[in-house]
Structure 1
């Protein structure tokens, strides 16, 4: 009996044999697609049908991310890995840290200064005949990204509101068989590649302390998600000392 490819292992986090994940793959008919189409179908599902938002922790199973219906880089990445492996596509996690400035505008200003300088980040690398392709552009769903593009159309460079890019007007986020990125310019440290996200999160945790972890899970992330929903509707919060959205200048109206 041949050995199982470690790039296809199921794990506690990559629970692609769970009923909900299995049903999703079967219902969408992804198994009947070509390899390239399978990658694209799973990628675009995670990018646009799983909203951008903040789950209660990074190290949650893919089935929980699917049930939540939202996620950020790490949790959406876990779901993408599970779907890819469930479709027979080898993949791995590449871990990093990013500067907290990338989260400015989403993290309430009252608590932003308390956030650690470096935030745990990851993207997914998928194995293709041409080599490894990096997938990070799935983090922001289209309505959220479009709202930022409208608000910051005066510049192509943005670090904040969940974005780290020098090509905001046309970031490489759609699946085309090539690398995709949306937070790349915020990277500080490279933490290496992992076949199992479980191992990555066992070795690297966001060090917040007991009190700040409780506050994040029960208070702060809910406020962050409220901001994300407001931004999707086009309501941009004001932030101090960072890129600001466009301001329309209107001439005062004079009485006739």
Structure 2
């Protein structure tokens, strides 16, 4: 399991801000179950659903931003878990961009790729890999959009969510896998020991032009997701 505990450029759990957070929360003193549960809950609700400058940014930057999407929240989650000696890996996919409609609108949605690079963290717990995709969406945001999801292909999608049963969404971690975007998966890209390997191969914002556009637009996107979270978005 040593390969699933390593620090990397993205999983930078030796960064002072991450080490300080782990110490302040006392996560190293907990049982394995409580380590996973509390770290998962922290990243899900204290790091708001939103958009960073790219997919391949260090965990310490995601923590400083205070928000993240599937890929960046997964990186931070991995760093915190590995920082308390919990083995974890990354599982990559392509997902249908229709799932993002509502969170992304107008020209931003139009120019998003049809298939978006998506990843979730898997943690080794009680002899099996457990998916923690549910970490993406915070409760205040979910509470505002759950009734706005559109019926699609036998499930419900929109606002960064793709789920089979919108009435049965439960993102609390109690030892089993949690999912929130998995209904829109179009292709499984496999397992990777580290996110650095995955995002070197698959990335939504490869190239200088895409990175520049995202940096210009992401503040606008995050203002919109904050408006949704506060209930002020019509």
Of 92, 100, 103, which residue of structure 2 is paired with 1:103? 100
- How many residues are matched? 233
Q: Which residue of 1 aligns with 2:176?
A: 178
Q: What does residue range 110-149 of structure 1 map to in structure 2 within 5 Å?
A: 110-149=107-146
Q: Mean alpha-carbon deviation: is it higher for 142-151 or for 6-15?
A: 142-151
Match of 1:247 in 2: none
Q: Is the 8 A contact 1:91 1:124 kept in 2?
A: yes
The CA deviation at 1:149 is 2.3
Kindly provide the CA deviation profile for residues 90-139 of structure 1, in whole angstroms up to 9, marking residues without a partner as x: 00000001111011112122332222101110011111123110110010
Instruction: Please point out which of 13, 18, 25 is paired with 1:16.
Output: 13
The corresponding residue for 2:89 is 92
Asked if the contact 1:108/1:223 (under 8 Å) is kept, the reply is no
**Unaligned stretches of 5+ residues in structure 1:** 238-256
Q: Which ranges in structure 2 are unaligned for 5 or more consecutive residues?
A: none
1:221 shift after superposition:
1.6
CA distance in 2, matches of 1:70, 1:13: 16
* Aligned-partner Cα distance in 1 for 2:47–2:63: 7
Residue number in structure 1 paired with 2:198: 200
Alignment correspondent of 2:35:
38
1:53-105 Cα deviation digits (max 9, x unpaired): 10001101110001111100000100000000011000000000111101111
Q: State the superposition RMSD in angstroms.
A: 2.0
CA distance in 1, matches of 2:226, 2:123: 30
Q: Which has the higher helix share?
A: 2
Output the TM-score relative to the length of structure 2: 0.93
Out of 63, 67, 71, the residue aligned to residue 64 of structure 2 is: 67
User: What's the secondary structure of 2:39's corresponding residue?
Assistant: helix
